[in-house]
């Protein structure tokens, strides 16, 4: 990407917000727009189609390992076509784009993954060889760790498309992020919330990231009131851990940071692709130092052999 254009804009101008066109992305951008409007900032939504949106078939790794849902929006931000990008943080690469910054992270929604079943009443009730839909190596490996008998098949498309594929009989169950279903008014479709002991969330899952140009003081000031410090610290810990592991977005890695008794707790998990090997580490630290905590958890996982599992996932 080229260097960002100047971020100087008149305070009376509309704040141009870049978003994907999916129903969930629109909901997220419109929610941010409503929060900004409450404080007197006029907003214009700008829809941007990403590589992940254009290619809805085949495994996600065939498109590229990082930024398939975010690069085009970041490019529009760099080029000055938009002033603010609203991301699902689980989609945003940990590799920083020069001149851009994560200006605010609103309070997190539900972080957990959920199971949506066609007939069964939960994971334990799924029969042997039940077909479960997910395109995520993280979800696949963790499910296989507890249910190696499951027939886990890839699935693509937005939330509504995946639910429709389930209802059409293509799968016995699918795994989705609970936050997405809740935001789309589909929480009643959740069969079971999968606990972190079974399925640790993706880095940043359930949280939104508000990205601006570093030199755009107006945009940064506009979104600053939307920042939730505890959530920001938690996702910074998760993202720093992932970067320290050099895991990218396709290795089977989960993370979950949260406040517990005024300290920041971070659980990290790395698995083999077949789910047979699972490595875990949970440590606590100062909420003011999430990066230090993240490096300690990453080191603990690497000491258990996480590097070999990550390299094996990359080479496959």
Q: Is residue 9 part of a domain?
A: no
Nearest to 67 by CA among 46, 82, 87: 87
pTM for the structure as a whole = 0.90
pLDDT band per the 50, 70, 90 thresholds, residue 316: confident
d(CA 76, CA 171): 37
Say what the pLDDT of residue 247 is. Answer: 79
CATH label of the domain that carries residue 243: 3.30.160.40
Over 60: is that where the pLDDT of 6 sits? no
Q: What percent of the chain stands above pLDDT 70? A: 90
Q: So what's the pLDDT on residue 70? A: 83
CB 266 within 8 A of CB 294: yes
Q: Which residues form the domain of 33?
A: 15-106+207-227
Are both 146 and 212 inside the same structural domain? Answer: no
Provide the number of structural domains found in the chain: 3
Is there a single domain that holds both residue 86 and residue 144? Answer: no
Q: What are phi and psi of 275, to 5 degrees?
A: 80, 0
Q: Are residues 50 and 102 in the same domain?
A: yes
Q: Exposed e or buried b for every residue in 119-136, given b needs 16+ CB within 10 A?
A: ebeebeebeeebbbbbbb
- Residues comprising the chain, all counted: 316
* pLDDT the model gives residue 112: 98
Q: State which H helix or E strand residue 264 sits in.
A: strand 263-271
Whether 58 has a pLDDT exceeding 70, the answer reads no
Q: Which residue has the higher pLDDT, 3 or 17?
A: 17
165 burial type by CB count under 10 A (0-12 exposed, 13-18 middle, 19+ buried): middle
**Angle at which helices 23-38 and 159-167 cross, to 10°:** 140
> DSSP label at 58?
S
Strands 131-133 and 151-153, by their bridges, are parallel
Is residue 95, in this structure, part of any structural domain at all? yes
The confidence score (pLDDT) of residue 55 equals 47
For residue 246, pLDDT over 70 is answered with: yes
Q: Is 91 a catalytic residue?
A: yes
Question: Is residue 148 situated within a structural domain?
Answer: yes
Query: To which H or E segment does residue 153 belong?
Result: strand 151-153
**Would you say residue 53 has pLDDT above 60?**
no
Q: Say yes or no: 123 and 257 in one domain.
A: no
Summarize the confidence of residues 52-58 as an average pLDDT. Answer: 48
Residue 200 lies in a domain: no
Give the CATH number for residue 154: 3.40.190.10
90 and 30 in a common domain: yes
Residues 99 and 156 in one domain: no
More confident position, 164 or 9:
164
pLDDT tens digits, one per residue of 273-288: 999 999 999 999 999 9
**205 near 111, Cβ under 8 Å?**
yes
Does 211 lie in the same domain as 187? no
Q: What is the mean pLDDT of residues 101-126?
A: 98
Q: Which residues fall within 8 angstroms of residue 13, CB to CB, at 6 or more apart?
A: none
Find the DSSP H helices in 168-305: 178-183, 217-223, 229-245, 290-303
**Same structural domain for residues 147 and 32?**
no
24 and 92 fall within a common domain: yes
64, pLDDT greater than 50:
no
CA distance 299 to 302: 5
| 198 inside domain | no
pLDDT digits (tens, 9 = 90+) for 250-268: 789 999 999 999 999 999 9
Domain membership of residue 5 (yes or no) is no
**Is residue 75 one of the residues assigned to a domain?**
yes
Mean per-residue pLDDT over the chain, rounded: 91
One of 53, 79, 83, 91 is an active-site residue; which one?
91
Q: Where are the alpha helices (DSSP H) in the chain?
A: 23-38, 51-54, 71-79, 137-146, 159-167, 178-183, 217-223, 229-245, 290-303, 306-315
Q: Judge whether residue 12 has pLDDT over 80.
A: no
- Identify whether 248 is part of a domain: yes
Do 133 and 184 share a structural domain? yes
**Are both 120 and 40 inside the same structural domain?**
no
Identify whether residues 99 and 150 lie together within a single domain: no
Cα 73-78-80 angle, rounded to 5 deg: 95
In this prediction, residues 134-145 reach a mean pLDDT of: 97
């Amino acid at each position: 990407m080229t260097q960002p254009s100047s971020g100087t804009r008149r305070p009376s101008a509309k704040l141009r917000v870049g978003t994907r066109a999916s129903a969930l992305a629109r909901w997220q951008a419109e929610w941010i727009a409503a929060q900004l409007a409450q404080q007197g900032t006029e907003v214009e939504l700008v829809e941007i189609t990403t590589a992940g949106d254009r290619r809805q078939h085949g495994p996600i790794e065939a498109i590229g390992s990082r930024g398939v849902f975010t690069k085009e929006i970041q490019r529009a931000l760099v080029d000055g076509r938009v002033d603010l990008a609203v991301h699902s943080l689980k989609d945003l690469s940990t590799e920083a784009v020069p001149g851009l910054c994560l200006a605010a992270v609103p309070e997190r929604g539900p972080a957990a993954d959920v199971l949506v079943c066609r007939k069964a009443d939960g994971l334990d009730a799924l029969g042997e060889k039940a077909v479960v839909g997910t395109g995520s190596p993280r979800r696949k490996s963790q499910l296989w760790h507890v249910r190696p008998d499951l027939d886990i098949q890839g699935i693509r498309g937005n939330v509504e498309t995946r639910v429709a594929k389930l209802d059409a009989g293509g799968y016995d169950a699918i795994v989705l992020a609970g936050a997405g279903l809740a935001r789309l008014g589909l929480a009643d479709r959740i069969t079971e919330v999968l606990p972190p002991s079974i399925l640790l969330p993706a880095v940043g899952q359930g949280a939104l990231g508000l990205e601006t140009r570093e030199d755009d003081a107006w945009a940064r000031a506009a979104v600053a009131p939307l920042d939730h410090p505890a959530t920001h610290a938690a996702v910074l810990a998760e993202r720093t851990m992932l970067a320290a592991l050099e895991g990218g977005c396709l290795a089977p890695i989960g993370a979950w940071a949260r406040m517990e008794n005024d300290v920041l707790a971070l659980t990290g998990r790395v698995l083999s692709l077949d789910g047979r090997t699972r490595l875990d580490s949970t440590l606590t630290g100062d909420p003011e130092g999430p990066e230090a905590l993240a490096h300690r958890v990453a080191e603990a996982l690497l000491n258990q052999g996480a590097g070999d599992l990550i390299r094996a996932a990359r080479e496959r």
